[in-house]
Chains A and B, each alone.
Chain A
């Protein structure tokens, strides 16, 4: 097991290096971070040149990349080309915000998904099961942006108008009240509810179907038959023997999803103006701000690799029948 972990971690180093190199070259070729200066009629060409030199953008690409890499590995993640802010700090803030959103959505999706899946398996082909299937189809088919905008329309416009409210019940954009400096938990929750719901809808269907199918498999096994013949109650069988074992495939899926969530939920964050990793990436991408993009990439790729590894480890840990050699 330890050897496997070591091998996987070693293998991931070249992957990270190659990914960062490719992204560096692509971003440099496509977006010019000083373009906004060239568009400004009050700024001269000499100004643009001076800025380009100051940012080190006039050096050969390879040199720029290695300068960045050397700094990165000693812990200096550089500053944003546009705002001059320290990248390590801004990416950290974005990461925390994304984790708040992604984590909440994951918990909602897990709780509801497992409950729905278990009931669906217990009452296979019942009206509830069929409805859950239909909802899963719907959840997998609705475009994220559309769902988000619909909710914004509902909570931001229609409910306010028809219930004659002073402000929306649930806020439709941002993470805190504009201008407020103090932290308020209730305000955070009211900002979080809608985007978290939109994200949860995307994964809920998958989780409930996973739970349902693995639960159906588990319910056919001998140990469940044994439990039944011992006269245990259905709830006890369902939750103690059934759910615990049927959670194994779901656990790995959740671990994989968590890795992806670290990178931010680009569309949802964009719709709800959530200042997380997705928004961070899109803004940096539009500005050609490569220190930001590369820092974002490093965090994301590392998270994906680590959570993939975690998924494999968890799988082997939870199911002793599985052995890695």
Chain B
């Protein structure tokens, strides 16, 4: 089947004449929309696959996303067992080995207090990933709640909730986080709470959109007519349809949360030392990067690779979970949608 998949992929790509040769033939897409119909044969030979299996198959065909997923799984395992893997503790200072370059004893060198950079990177990864995952999860839950209520009940509730959402979207993110984090004294939990409070708006908008478009449909009507409660309709009838978009949004949220946490910690308003995070390691590196560039490269590359991988997984998930579109068509749309979601953050973290 995987061979077949590859073949059909090739066919699809070769079916796009004039798109890549620049002959300005944009009718190719509008006249022959590369829509679901074209995607069917790929799976119809199989007996019948559940939606989840189809999604998984599609996700696997997105090579970058798959590699990224494997990378992330390995990363989570490594940082979870940091206390077993790391050769030193993150606080252990060796004052004979200050600012030493990478060596066999210290794979990524040592910092200005003689602490092993590799060990610190692992422990810091724990914090950074924990913040990223929990923030995305909790803000996803808040956003889903707000969006579901606004979209389902409509009218003044919708109006009120969406004005609040707009207000949250217009405030400069980093500034609010800085002011807020001074109140919560820089603990990991405090950072998670304050970040979650300002990351739910995107999920809320997406979920609201799904609810708005589905609440008048027949299957909801029929559920209502047999006397289902509002709660039952919201949770069991409509919400499952929003699963895909929420998952994609939350995945991209992980990347944004990691980036924002690193900016916040870099400025000294995030995770406070001695607890290491990739952001405050960047901050530490700032003073020594001329003589000890490895202090800069280690956390910087760690953040870059992690965020990049998460973004690729989000990309792959969007390909996989949207039943209306073929992967190829999607390719063109993912970064736009991503840019739309991230557009709100980018200045904030600049």
Contact = CB atoms under 8 A, between A and B. Distances in A.
B300 A143 contact: yes
A322 B140 CA distance: 32
Interface in B266-305: 266-267, 279, 282-283, 285-286, 289-290, 293, 296, 299-300, 303-304
B296 to A, nearest CB: 5
Contacts of A124: 19-20, 332
Interface in B47-73: none
B347 A260 contact: yes
B179 interface: yes
Interface of A: 15, 23, 26-27, 29-31, 122-126, 133, 136-138, 140-146, 149-150, 152-153, 156-157, 198-199, 202-203, 205-206, 209-210, 212-213, 216, 219-220, 224-225, 228, 234, 237, 253, 257, 260-261, 263, 265-268, 270-271, 281-282, 285, 300, 304-305, 308
Given A137-B335, A150-B300, A210-B336, A145 B262 contact: yes
A210 B338 CA distance: 10
B285 A149 contact: yes
B35 to A, nearest CB: 14
A29 B336 contact: no
A20 to B, nearest CB: 12
Contacts of A156: 290
A268 B290 contact: no
Given A136-B339, A146-B282, A282-B267, 17 more contacts: A122-B24, A123-B22, A149-B285, A149-B300, A202-B346, A205-B339, A209-B338, A209-B339, A210-B339, A219-B26, A220-B26, A224-B26, A265-B347, A282-B178, A300-B175, A305-B170, A308-B170
A257 B172 contact: no
Contacts of A198: 350
Given A150-B300, A220-B29, A282-B267, A304 B170 contact: yes
Contact of A136 (B171, B335, B350): B335
Contacts, number: 169
B318 to A, nearest CB: 13
B303 A263 contact: no
B293 A140 contact: no
B262 A150 contact: no
B317 interface: no
Contacts of A234: 24
Contact of A141 (B27, B255, B339): B255
25 contacts: A122-B22, A123-B20, A125-B16, A125-B331, A133-B335, A140-B346, A143-B279, A145-B300, A146-B296, A146-B304, A149-B282, A149-B286, A157-B290, A202-B349, A203-B346, A205-B339, A206-B339, A212-B332, A220-B30, A237-B24, A266-B267, A267-B174, A304-B170, A304-B172, A308-B170
Given A143-B282, A210-B339, A300-B172, A257 B347 contact: yes
Q: What DSSP secondary structure best describes chain B's contact surface? A: helix
Contacts of A153: 289-290, 293, 296
B267 A30 contact: no
Given A124-B20, A285-B182, A209 B335 contact: yes
B349 A26 contact: no
6 smallest beta-carbon distances between A and B, as pairs: A146-B300, A213-B336, A209-B339, A260-B347, A141-B307, A141-B308
B172 A125 contact: no
B333 interface: yes
Contacts of B300: 143, 145-146, 149-150
Contacts of A308: 170
B123 interface: no
Nearest to B167: A15
Given A137-B335, A220-B30, A282-B267, A31 B282 contact: no
B79 interface: no
A22 to B, nearest CB: 8
A308 B339 CA distance: 19
A228 B346 CA distance: 37
A95 to B, nearest CB: 15
B277 to A, nearest CB: 12
B326 interface: no
Contacts of A152: 289
Contacts of B349: 143-144, 202, 267
B347 to A, nearest CB: 4
Contacts of B170: 304-305, 308
Interface in B241-271: 255, 259, 262-263, 266-267
B1 interface: no
B311 A141 contact: yes
B34 to A, nearest CB: 12
Nearest to A296: B175
Nearest to A200: B350
B22 A145 contact: no
Contacts of B22: 122-123, 126
A136 to B, nearest CB: 5
Given A146-B300, A146-B304, A261 B336 contact: no
Contacts of A150: 296, 300
Contact of B24 (A146, A203, A228): A228
Contact of A26 (B179, B283, B342): B179
B348 interface: yes
A138 B338 CA distance: 13
B348 to A, nearest CB: 7
A298 to B, nearest CB: 13
